[in-house]
Chains A and B, each alone.
Chain A
């Protein structure tokens, strides 16, 4: 079974600053997908970024970027130029190469200070 670990229950960042969220996972697979989802108080899960394990290049989506270290099984999310609207719970998720099931971490609550 795949395990996803987010070791930071809460993170706080000043508006316009940068924050990095940690995620590690355990798998014996060589090909898989990793995701970061955002869940604001409205509860709707929103995809932030996706990384294919077979791609060495780190994924980037505007102010969001990841640091994917396959050998270390680490997948951190960096939020640059933090905005008030970034305040939410962030979930790291793993998915096998040929499967629909997502395995989620426990989540990290991000607070943005004005």
Chain B
């Protein structure tokens, strides 16, 4: 069973540009979450999607957006990039079969390393 696939693995952008990151979840997983990891702020929740709907959003500016497609693949977009957006962006997918939402284990991808110059 293939794991969570994130593309691209590495990318370099300049300030003011925009970027789109892609995440393909484990087959059968319908929930996809995104996290930002930086040395200063640690791991922070960005948003979570289920059945093409955003169910939960972290405390990030509107420049950060995402979407989910009917095949559960997800993309996140960051517009008007700032130096502080340099980070590892992690995607995680989860099934929805647990007795509670919280019971479902997140499986993470290897991340997309974004550098903003």
Contact = CB atoms under 8 A, between A and B. Distances in A.
Contact of B90 (A32, A45, A50): A45
Interface in B60-107: 88, 90, 92, 94, 100-107
Nearest to B92: A45
Interface size class of B (residues with CB under 8 A): 20 to 34
Contacts of A98: 100-102
B88 to A, nearest CB: 6
B55 interface: yes
A44 B102 contact: no
B100 A101 contact: no
SS of B interface (majority):
strand
Given A45-B90, A106-B42, A107-B42, A100 B110 contact: no
B25 interface: no
A104 B101 contact: no
A91 interface: yes
Given A43-B88, A44-B111, A102 B106 contact: yes
B101 A99 contact: yes
A47 B55 CA distance: 23
A78 interface: no
B102 A95 contact: yes
Interface of A: 32-33, 37, 42-47, 50, 52, 91, 95-107
